[in-house]
Chains A and B, each alone.
Chain A
Amino acid sequence: MKKVLVVDDSLSVARLLEKIIAESGDFTCVGHARDGAEAIKMNHTENPEIICMDMNMPGMDGLTALRTLSVMDKEVKVVMVTSLGGVGDKFTEALKLGAKNVISKPFEADNVLRILRAL
């Protein structure tokens, strides 16, 4: 099973994503980071294959963390999960920084799993 790290300052979104991941049968959640800096640390300690990361977080935001992760770890695949997905500039910036895809909130479990399975 592929290891997934969830990064979101929202407890409720993290809970929902962890539930979707746990019930998928294909993925296992290795932890929950609450900002970009914690995500970078947990990427090192938990070595996930996939990171599902929010963009708009207090402290280090998702795009800043993505920029760092793209340099530090060429293997990990990052998918942004954000309410700002529909803002064209933010979406394009995430892809240019190396995100594999961007999931807009509100999301549906089917859509999340389809995108994770396609990575």
Chain B
Amino acid sequence: MAVKFFGQFMVEQGIITSSALLDAINLQDKNNLKLGEMAVTMGLITSADIQRAHNAQMSRDMKLGDLLVEMGFLTLAQLNDIIIRQKNTHLYIGEALVQVGALTSDQLQNHLDAFKADQAKYISNGIELPITTTNNAIWEMTADLTYKMVTRVLDLKFRPGACTPVTVITANFMLAAMDFSGDVEARYLISVSEGLQKAIAKAILHEESVDAEPLEVLEDTVMEFINVVCGNVAAKASQMGVIMNINPPVSLHPPAAGLTIPEGHTALSFPIHIEDGDTLELLLVIKN
């Protein structure tokens, strides 16, 4: 029911053991050379050249390959040759599992088909942001995955409203927030009314009624919902080559005037109109 990578899917389903997966990952680590290792293996540069480039990287925000070209250790044509060789010799996890004897080639194809079917529900549906941010593709995926989790986890029918930039986060019964760090920096927030908080609690706790639940538990269910969404966003981002770390969620109760967006940040609001007339709001406060 979550965003997964193939190896995890196979272990979770009990088709392979975790030790077989680790064997396959170790085989990948030996086979799939990093750019510098490949350049040395191809006899184009020395380990000492790589070390010099790594030292230079400490004060330069550049990819290793670009830096090696700039420092004159490689030509652009040689860099392209290395990248092509990396792609041509890349060992994917499925093939690695076959090579360590965990699967046959026929079994691999069948399980890949099952994996693709399992993950098809998380393929992005083309949301477009109205403005340019640090990484539009990541935030469009984040909104899209939020919509999918509202359906799958909360079982709520809704209509997404238009995304708009905002300068103030309007006060509501409760907000739950999680911070992203890593390749992108942002705060993910969900704003809910009292009624929606209860609807989320019913879905998360799998209970018909939550009227007797203490406020602490009701708030916790909203925080857990965003924890699930943000964890899956981080997983999807890693498939897109972007590192996103998450911190544990917190609950917020803004003053009546709302929360002003700090300088150097862009805030986007995604209203989610629920079938019963209530509105859940997704907010992304993105560092510029």
**A residues near B, CB below 8 A?**
9-13, 15-16, 19, 56-58, 82-89, 91-92, 95-96, 99-108, 111, 114-115, 118
Contact = CB atoms under 8 A, between A and B. Distances in A.
A65 B221 CA distance: 24
B228 A56 contact: no
Contact of B2 (A13, A83, A95, A114): A83
9 A-B pairs closest in CB distance: A83-B231, A86-B235, A104-B2, A86-B3, A11-B220, A12-B221, A10-B224, A84-B231, A86-B4
Contacts of A88: 5, 7-8, 238
Contacts of B2: 83, 85-86, 104-107
Contacts of B217: 11-12, 15
Nearest to A14: B220
B204 A12 contact: yes
Given A13-B224, A101-B18, A107-B1, A89 B11 contact: no
Interface string B232-269: 10111010000000111000000000000000000000
12 contacts: A10-B220, A11-B216, A13-B224, A15-B217, A56-B231, A86-B235, A87-B235, A88-B5, A104-B1, A106-B2, A106-B228, A107-B2
A9 B229 CA distance: 17
B53 interface: no
B238 A108 contact: no
B7 A91 contact: yes
Contacts, number: 116
A108 B247 CA distance: 24
Contacts of B206: 16, 19
Most buried by A among B14, B18, B204: B18
Interface of B: 1-5, 7-8, 11-12, 14, 18, 21-22, 25, 149, 152-153, 201, 204-206, 216-217, 220-221, 223-224, 227-232, 234-236, 238, 246-248
Contacts of B18: 95, 99-101
A84 B12 contact: no
Contact of B152 (A11, A95, A101, A106): A106
Contacts of A11: 216-217, 220
A15 B234 CA distance: 25
Given A16-B204, A56-B227, A114-B14, A92 B25 contact: yes
Contact of B12 (A9, A82, A111): A111
B228 A83 contact: yes
A11 to B, nearest CB: 5
B246 A84 contact: yes
A15 B221 CA distance: 11
